[in-house]
């Protein structure tokens, strides 16, 4: 409850709620944020048209448009189809309530999982904040020592001349506000995703703990009814986990697909500007995109380690004292064993989202840089 209350408190800063079914979007923060997004799209389109004869300015304008696509997908996924996020929260709430009646060992596992979620969320908030501060401060500091005034992003506001000192500060201030809103909506959606995914990992840890308890009961030769009750609990928990994970993955896969197809081209365009035109702000955009892709692939890899080829749950089930089970109980546990070998994974279309995918994407970008360097030479 502390975790979800913290996430909900953070999301209030953009006028939304991911955990309450009844929520009104008619509030200042939400309308202000959406207005900023509309202003951003209009400004980028107008700036791109005005800069069509200047390739450096044009690349600078287009490079940030991928983040706009991400913001639109986040709004669609977490606001327009918000009920799916609320459904996941309510499933988790009922799950934790049910777990209060479990053994001390199970509750200890859940506490460890909650601690992990808390740490990862805190680190995510700080990393994203550091990136935004860096992206916004470097152009301003550079402008102090350089003859040209540099804006954090390539677009300028319509009817505000960035060549004047007042116009430069006005554009800088508006871009700062937009960057803060983008940070809020990115962090809000990402920490909600982290909470849901790491909760799924915790469910698997609970299943392994309950399986160990079953094995201990078999070693003690406890009564048939006690063994059957534990097996029924394992089946119930595993059915819950599969239903929850399917619902979560079906929600996240389209969201991550749009994130990748908007971030990778943004990074490629930034590399083009960096290598061919010595457009150094492109390095900051490449790094920001790389961090976002890393988070997605890191969570996918974590899920694979739990339910993939090195599935610890499958090994736990396979290691129980099968010889002490009745024929009926053997069939039940065999069913659980078979289901555990067909897990759901995070995907972007047909590409599994894991560290391998992260390395492949960066290998492609590195190959592009080398090819451009050779061409340039």
Nearest to 266 by CA among 359, 129, 138, 153: 153
Range from 35-39, 55-59, 136-140 carrying the lowest mean pLDDT: 55-59
Q: Is the pLDDT of residue 309 over 50?
A: no
Q: What is the DSSP string of 284-343?
A: HHHHHHHHHHHHHHHHHHHHHHHHSTT-HHHHHHHTS-GGGS-HHHHHHHHHHHHHHTS-
**Contact between residue 67 and residue 266 where contact means Cβ atoms under 8 Å apart:** yes
| pLDDT per position as a tens digit, 142-184 | 778 777 788 888 788 988 888 888 999 999 999 999 889 888 8
The pLDDT, as a whole number, for residue 52 is: 84
Please tell me the predicted confidence (pLDDT) of residue 279: 66
Cβ atoms 30, 115 nearer than 8 A: no
pLDDT in tens, 67-124: 888 888 888 888 888 899 999 999 999 999 988 888 899 999 999 999 999 999 999 9
Q: What is the largest CA-CA distance in the chain?
A: 84
CA distance 149 to 153: 12
Percent of the chain having pLDDT more than 90?
17
Share of the chain above pLDDT 70, in %: 95
Return the ∠ at Cα 128 (arms to 364 and 162), rounded to 5°.
Answer: 85
Give the span between the Cα atoms of 333 and 326, in whole angstroms: 11
pLDDT of residue 223: 87
Model confidence at 343, pLDDT cuts 50, 70, 90, reads low
At residue 51, the 3 state secondary structure works out as coil
User: In this predicted structure, what is the pLDDT of residue 126?
Assistant: 92
Long-range contacts made by residues 31-39, C-beta under 8 angstroms, separation at least 24? 33/181, 33/184, 33/185, 34/75, 36/177, 36/178, 36/181, 37/68, 37/71, 37/72, 37/75, 37/181, 39/157, 39/174, 39/178
């Amino acid at each position: 409850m502390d975790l979800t209350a913290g996430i909900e408190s953070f999301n209030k800063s953009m006028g939304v709620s991911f955990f309450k079914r009844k929520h009104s979007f008619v509030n200042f923060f939400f309308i202000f944020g959406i207005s900023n997004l509309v202003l951003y799209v209009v400004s980028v389109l107008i700036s791109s048209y005005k800069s069509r004869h200047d390739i450096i300015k044009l690349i600078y304008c287009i490079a940030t448009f991928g983040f706009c696509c991400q913001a639109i997908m986040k709004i669609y996924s977490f606001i327009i189809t918000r009920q799916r996020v609320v459904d996941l929260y309510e499933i988790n709430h009922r799950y934790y309530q049910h777990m209060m009646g479990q053994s001390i060992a199970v509750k200890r596992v859940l506490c460890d999982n909650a601690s992990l979620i808390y740490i990862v969320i805190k680190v995510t908030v700080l990393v994203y904040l550091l990136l935004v501060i860096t992206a916004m401060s470097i152009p301003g500091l550079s402008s102090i020592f350089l003859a040209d005034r540099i804006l954090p992003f390539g677009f300028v506001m319509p009817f505000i001349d960035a060549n004047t000192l007042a116009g430069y500060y006005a554009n800088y201030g508006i871009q700062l506000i937009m960057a803060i809103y983008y940070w809020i909506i990115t962090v809000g959606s990402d920490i909600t995703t982290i909470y849901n995914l790491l909760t799924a990992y915790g469910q698997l840890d609970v299943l392994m703990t309950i399986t160990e308890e079953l094995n201990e009961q078999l070693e003690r030769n406890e009564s048939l009814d006690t063994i059957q009750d534990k097996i029924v609990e394992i089946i119930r928990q595993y059915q819950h986990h599969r239903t929850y994970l399917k619902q979560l993955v079906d929600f996240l896969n389209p969201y991550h697909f749009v994130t990748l197809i908007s971030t990778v081209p943004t990074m490629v365009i930034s590399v083009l500007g960096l290598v061919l035109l010595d457009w150094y702000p492109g390095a900051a955009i490449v790094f920001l995109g790389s961090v976002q892709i890393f988070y997605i692939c890191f969570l996918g890899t974590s899920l694979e380690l739990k339910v993939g080829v090195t599935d610890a749950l499958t090994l736990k089930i396979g290691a129980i004292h099968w010889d002490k089970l009745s024929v009926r109980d053997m069939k039940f546990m065999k069913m659980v064993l078979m289901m555990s070998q067909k897990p759901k994974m995070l995907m972007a279309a047909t590409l599994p989202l894991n560290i391998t995918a992260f390395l492949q994407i960066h290998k492609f970008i590195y190959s592009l840089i080398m090819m451009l360097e050779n061409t340039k030479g």
